Amino acid sequence: MSNVRTKDIIDKFHFDLIAGEEGVNRLIATSDISRPGIEMAGDFTFYPAERIQLLGKTELTFFNRLTAEQRKHRMDNLCTDITPGIIVSREMEVPTELLEACEQEGVPLMRSSLKTTKLSSRLTNYLESKLAPTTAIHGVLVDIYGVGVLITGKSGVGKSETALELVKRGHRLVADDCVEIRQEDEDTLIGNSPELIEHLLEIRGLGIINVMTLFGAGAVRSYKRITLCINLELWDKTKQYDRLGLEEEKMKIIDTEITKLTVPVRPGRNLAVIIEVAAMNFRLKRMGVNAAEQFTNRLADVIEEGEREEI
């Protein structure tokens, strides 16, 4: 999980810093945004002080109807030593009581020209992306026909060589060797490459190559949603591999499960073509076309028909 500070959102959204400059290094610990309407009415019982506070037209219109004593009391309570920042939307005039309270407590006071709802949505999306749980997996991530395929397996099994062949076939490399993964939603995993090795492939006997330089900008992309994992393993004669495709194994990354296929590796097998077809078949299944189920149903019909004829 990345550390996000108030100065990061100021730079990202070009907020005007009105007061509380000494607090711009405060940590933002949650992606939730608070619009303190009940607090403006005087109830601070469940005030989420650790969140970014967003004041829009509704909150400030009500606030301006309060007495001078009430306005000072509300703003003094709104500004705490853990509040990462207060944002006023629509470039509205900042109340004097708020400005003084922010200066006193060192709470960054910012102003934006965006409408409140749009600002809240953009800010939430940004914070969720930055504060999402993260992990790193040894493997290769490739975009194949729009499907984010994570290729895993033991070192030396041929992951990078397979990725190179896939790039030559027109697909796009996202990451090689180390894939950084963040969980942006309950069922959404986004993978990208560490900055140090971005666009690079390591091929044993050849060394490190720059995919973007060799194949062009269309052969790489910065990040991709991961929906399928293909695990490469050396062929084991004693192991029974799935030949129909009815069984669907799952792999859990952080809190999200994705489909996992195990592909045995041995001389003569074109892994790039197999993975390419696996990605296309995965897309078909998501569209409701399952070849394995169709074959099983047809086989069951033939068997049933044969039994009737015997009777």
Residue among 171, 177, 271 at smallest CA distance from 230:
271
Amino acid at 20: G
From the list 57, 138, 169, 250, the catalytic residue is 138
Active site residue 224: no
Indicate which residue of 159, 171, 182, 221 is catalytic: 159
Known binding residue 268? Answer is no
Q: CA torsion sign, 270 to 272 to 277 to 279?
A: positive
Of the listed 65, 237, 243, 266, which one is catalytic? 243
Q: Which of 102, 89, 84, 121 is nearest to 4 (CA)?
A: 84
Q: Are 228 and 149 in contact (CB under 8 A)?
A: yes
Our answer to whether residue 243 is catalytic in this structure is yes
Catalytic status, residue 171: no
Q: Is position 202 annotated in a ligand binding site?
A: yes
Nearest to 235 by CA among 267, 279, 274: 267
Q: Which of 177, 225, 260, 285 is catalytic?
A: 177
| Phi–psi pair at 269, nearest 5 degrees | -90, 130
160 is in an annotated binding site: yes
User: Is residue 298 among the annotated active site residues?
Assistant: no
88 is known to lie in a ligand binding site: no
120 labeled part of a ligand binding site: no
Asked if residue 2 belongs to a known ligand binding site, the reply is: no
Torsion of CA 172, 176, 182, 186, to 10 degrees: 60
Do residues 138 and 72 touch, judged by C-beta distance below 8 A?
Answer: no
What 3-state DSSP class applies to 47? coil
The answer to the question of whether 153 is labelled as a binding residue is yes
Do residues 209 and 200 make contact, with C-beta atoms less than 8 angstroms apart? yes
Residue set of the binding site for ATP:
153-160
Binding-site residue ranges: 153-160, 202
Catalytic annotation, residues: 138, 159, 177, 243
Binding residues for Mg(2+): 160, 202
